Amino acid sequence: MEEVIGATLRFIFHIIYYFVVEILFMGIGWLTLKIITFGKYPNKDTSENFMSYTGIAVFIIFLIALTLYYYIN
């Protein structure tokens, strides 16, 4: 029974990880790099990690800006 629960939890966490990292952060990073470089970057040689890190940085900056906005108003 413990093996089934462990496997199910690993599967659920894998799905959550895939959604957050691969789709959300990498998508934000890809879009940000395309906008900043006017479509020249990222190309097919760009690391997926770099796009994910860019997405995480943009997401954190967005959260900080949103917090400051609500704190000031």
pLDDT band at 9 (very low <50, low <70, confident <90, very high): very high
pLDDT at 4 over 90: no
Q: Which residues contact 19 (CB under 8 A, 6 or more apart)?
A: none
Predicted TM-score of the model (pTM): 0.77
What pLDDT score does 20 carry?
Answer: 84
**Beta-strand (E) ranges in the chain?**
none
pLDDT band at 70 (very low <50, low <70, confident <90, very high): very high
Report the pLDDT averaged over residues 38-53: 88
> How far, in Å, CA of 62 to CA of 34, rounded?
18
Amino acid at 55: G
